[in-house]
Amino acid sequence: MLEDRKRLRTEHVDVVNVGDKPLRAWKPIAELTFLGLPEEEGKAHRQFIAEAKKAGASAILLLPAEDAGLRGRFGHASPIGIPHRLFKATAIVYE
């Protein structure tokens, strides 16, 4: 969390895609990450939305995913594992 202030849970969170910018002024309140397989991008986005609602965010800014290297079945680094991605987003509030 970037901000210690407690906020009320929100029911709706806007999703701002990679490369787009929100139309209103905003400030970040939390950085969100999800380590998973490339095909788990939708699962990562659902988790980001749930966490952002819990944090009281107005929107999430999706950031480019990063290569997390080869990992074994349970996410541990492995030289013969499966390629994983680190999905990232920033939870924001409109000012």
pLDDT at 37: 86
Proportion of the chain in helix, strand, coil states, percent, rounded to 5: 20, 45, 40
**pLDDT of 24 over the 80 cut:** yes
Four-way CATH pick for 28-94: 3.30.1660, 3.30.460, 1.10.10, 3.30.420: 3.30.1660
Chain-wide mean pLDDT for the chain?
88
pLDDT in tens, 50-84: 999 999 999 999 999 999 887 776 666 666 678 88
pTM: predicted TM-score of the whole model, two decimal places:
0.84
pLDDT at 9: 81
Q: Tell me if 51 sits within 8 A of 76, measured CB to CB.
A: no
Instruction: Categorize the per-residue pLDDT at 3 as very low, low, confident or very high, splitting at 50, 70 and 90.
Output: low
Nearest C-alpha neighbor of 93 from the set 7, 4, 11, 35: 7
